[in-house]
Amino acid sequence: AQTVTQSQPEMSVQEAETVTLSCTYDTSESDYYLFWYKQPPSRQMILVIRQEAYKQQNATENRFSVNFQKAAKSFSLKISDSQLGDAAMYFCAYRRGARSEKLVFGKGTKLTVNP
């Protein structure tokens, strides 16, 4: 079974600084998708960024970017120029293949942004 591990239960960053959240996963599949979701105190789950395993180029969405290391099965999220609104739980998620819709989530990392 696929597993997703987020080894940092909590992280903190100063406003305007950069922070990296770690995620590793275990799979024997070659075709899969990876996601980062944000859950602010409102509880709403919001998709931040996604990465297709067949793409070598790291995904980027404005201040959010990933470092996808397929051989190492690592998928970290970098947040640049951190803002107070970035404070939230961040979840890494895995989806097997192009035709599966099942997401497997990590336990999450709580990010605090200090003014």
Partner 1 sequence: DAGVIQSPRHEVTEMGQEVTLRCKPISGHNSLFWYRQTMMRGLELLIYFNNNVPIDDSGMPEDRFSAKMPNASFSTLKIQPSEPRDSAVYFCASSLARKASGGFYNEQFFGPGTRLTVL
Cβ at position 30, least distance to partner 1 in Å: 12
101 is a contact residue toward partner 1 (CB under 8 A): yes
- With tokens 């996604």, the residue in question is 50
Cβ at position 64, least distance to partner 1 in Å: 15
Collapsing DSSP to helix, strand or coil, 86 comes out as helix
Q: Which is nearer to partner 1, 37 or 82 (CB)?
A: 37
Site for partner 1 in 38-97 (CB under 8 A): 42-47, 50, 52, 54, 91, 97
What's the helix, strand, coil split of the chain in %, to 5? 5, 55, 45
DSSP assignment letter at 84: G
Cβ at position 24, least distance to partner 1 in Å: 15
Count CB atoms within 10 A of the CB of residue 52: 14
Residue 100 φ then ψ, to 5°: -90, 145
DSSP assignment letter at 31: S
Q: Which is nearer to partner 1, 106 or 111 (CB)?
A: 106
Q: Which residues bind partner 1 (CB under 8 A)?
A: 31, 33, 42-47, 50, 52, 54, 91, 97-99, 101-108
